[in-house]
Structure 1
Amino acid sequence: MSYNNNWIANAILQGHINHYEYKDFYNVKEIGSGGFGKVYRANWKNSHILALKSHNDSTAEKFVNELKIQRRVNMHDNIIKFYGIATDDQNYSSNKYLLVMEYADGGTLREYLRQNFGSLTWNNKFKMAYQLADAVLWLHNSDVIHRDLHSNNVLIHKGVIKLADFGLSKKIDESITSQQGGVIPYVDPKKFALSRYSLDKKSDVYSIGVLLWEISSGRPPFSNENRFGLLEPILRGHRETPIPNTPKDYEKVYTGKCI
């Protein structure tokens, strides 16, 4: 058994992590996938809907990192809840682990804005902006940097922001040397301008600013431009401009950060 699998097994056996069995889930449906693995929607026992997140063998270390971070920041209302680990055997020796998490019925922030933007008031947008900023502040106060904030890592459940996907997150006292896996428009430009630059709290704040612009506009940043040529203009200071009729108070929140 690898170190990562052994760590998970010991945490389950010692009662630090709740254990679920695959056989107790039904109506399992894939709802997303990526380099990390896959995400499923499933009913559990009494028909309660949960999300299950798998991992590829190559991302096992990130899986354990995400598990540790989730446990660390699990108490905030605007962070997706972590419930435990699912395995398919009684000895916890399987290589197939799933994170068992809160299911967000509104999907990603990007999907939610695409489908509901026309009905959102500025009061709704202010509320979403506050929830997002408060969740990241909780991370930072817990000595955690997210490092990968974008509108596909922010979920919506019952109209409420839920921060998710901590696979690239780090505790602040850990060195950050892994390759940046974020989406360019949301990433602190210093990461690309300085070869040895480590993403920090200010980098998360930059990403929040971009997300607040997206909430105000209803579309991803630079969606009308060629994504392949974006990096150089961004490094030269190119930013999205405020949407017409944006309240000055809202505009001030994010223009001082990055836009």
Structure 2
Amino acid sequence: MQNWVEEAISKEHIKIYKCEQFSNIQKIGSGGSGKVYRANLKNHGQNIALKSFFDFNEATAKEIEHEIRLHRDVHFHDNIIKFYGIAQFDPENQNVQSKNCLLVMEYADSGTLKSYLKKNFNCLTWNDKCRLAYQLACAVSCLHNEKIVHRDLHSSNVLVHQNIVKLSDFGLSKRIESSSNTRSGCFGIIPYIEPKKLLNNQYSLNEKSDIYSIGVLLWEISSGRLPFYNESKEYDVALAIKIVQDLREDPTPDTPKDYIKIYTECWDGEPDNRPTIDQVKERLEVAIARTSVMTENYQTVKFQLLMSDKQEFKTSSSNNTSSNNTSHGDSSQIIQNFNKLNLNEIDLTT
């Protein structure tokens, strides 16, 4: 790892940052492999993220090298978190020399998709939800087009920056051509894991495994809830068995039928029945277009009815108040009827 990094730095493929270039370093999260810090990059006026690793050893060094190489191939995409370079210091004790390697990365101001949905879900329109789903699909499409399988998609590995999805954490990602030789353990969070992997630990995760996880994430975006969440109970083997036996979450009321069809096909128990990521993208594009038209029509009708009410009020003022009450009542009823439109009854695929 050291030789590869030193060579990459000398050829200016990777930028090296020094401790004194950062200020206001604060821990903002931790996971199974390390911690994440927010810091201010001096002289640039921007926040960045520093990703550290537990137990820095040869295996960790290879993981870091692997993640850097993958980021180098996909860093151009707007929905993938940017990789800026590396640094070597201890964020929690900057006065002590450290050989620990930190990844210097783009900072996502809204945190994980999990926390973003928890905070903002009640403010999201269906158009907003479809756009989040579409951006996620675009990020995974970029990976698959570069022959990369993520293998660990869940709402804590998806970040949000200025309301835009940013895919992160490539620690478990594998090149598609080499993934068939991978026989690692069953990593990840149970509801998002390929059922075939839950059933058989030797199953090689692939592109269609990412699609399964996408299905669960699309449901999560539509519901604002974690899959199979029980505050008093952790995910366990019993849940894994039920998922293998085709247990899935129920659609949230008022979810458009075409959106339900997309994520239910994604989480189909048979990988061959699942769509490709590009097919998911195309169908979400249609959903966005239709929901945008519906929103525009809704706003137009409300505006027209409002103007009609105003005109009726002016007319009635010169005549009598009873006619005004009648016409206003008619307009209000129209608005109420329009508001009662059930998105679930509208087929956006036609």
Please report the TM-score for the alignment, with normalisation by the length of structure 1. 0.93
Give, in whole Å, the separation in 2 of the partners of 1:186 and 1:86: 32
Asked if 2 retains the 8 angstrom alpha-carbon contact of 1:146 and 1:168, the reply is yes
Aligned-partner SS, 2:136: helix
Match of 1:103 in 2: 107
Closer, same or farther in 2 for the Cα pair 1:95/1:5, shift >3 Å? farther
Does 169-178 or 36-45 show the bigger shift? 169-178
Match of 1:79 in 2: 80
Match of 1:181 in 2: 187
Match of 1:48 in 2: 46
Aligned-partner SS, 1:256: helix
Structure 2: gaps (5+ residues): 90-96, 269-350
Structure 2 counterpart of 1:138, from 142, 155, 165: 142
Write the letter of the residue equivalent to 1:188.
Answer: E
Shift of 1:50: 0.4
Give, in whole Å, the separation in 2 of the partners of 1:108 and 1:43: 19
Aligned-partner SS, 2:266: coil
Match of 1:240 in 2: 249
Does 225-234 or 37-46 show the bigger shift? 225-234
Shift of 1:224: 3.2
Q: Percent identity?
A: 55
Shift of 1:94: 6.2
Match of 2:211 in 1: 205
Higher strand share: 1
Q: Does 1:13 align with 2:14?
A: no
Does 47-56 or 146-155 show the bigger shift? 47-56
Give, in whole Å, the separation in 2 of the partners of 1:236 and 1:42: 45
Q: CA RMSD in A?
A: 1.6
Aligned-partner SS, 1:10: helix
Structure 2 counterpart of 1:126, from 116, 123, 130: 130
Higher helix share: 2
Structure 1: gaps (5+ residues): none
Give, in whole Å, the separation in 2 of the partners of 1:243 and 1:148: 25
Give, in whole Å, the separation in 1 of the partners of 2:111 and 2:160: 6
Give, in whole Å, the separation in 1 of the partners of 2:184 and 2:51: 22
Match of 2:262 in 1: 253
Asked if 2 retains the 8 angstrom alpha-carbon contact of 1:5 and 1:95, the reply is no
Bigger relative contact order (CA 8 A; separation at least 6): 1
Give, in whole Å, the separation in 2 of the partners of 1:247 and 1:219: 17
Shift of 1:101: 0.5
Give, in whole Å, the separation in 2 of the partners of 1:62 and 1:171: 13
Aligned-partner SS, 1:230: helix
Structure 2 counterpart of 1:31, from 28, 31, 34: 28
Please list, as runs of the form range in 1=range in 2, the aligned pairs for 1:142-181 lying within 5 A after superposition: 142-174=146-178, 175-181=181-187
Asked if 2 retains the 8 angstrom alpha-carbon contact of 1:109 and 1:151, the reply is yes
Asked if 2 retains the 8 angstrom alpha-carbon contact of 1:87 and 1:94, the reply is yes
Asked if 1 retains the 8 angstrom alpha-carbon contact of 2:88 and 2:98, the reply is yes
Shift of 1:194: 2.2
Shift of 1:75: 0.8
Deviations along 1:87-144, one digit per CA (max 9) or x if unpaired, are 35xxxx9632111110000000000000000000000000001000111011000010
Asked if 1 retains the 8 angstrom alpha-carbon contact of 2:186 and 2:198, the reply is no
Answer with 1 or 2: which has the greater Rg: 2
Give, in whole Å, the separation in 2 of the partners of 1:125 and 1:170: 29
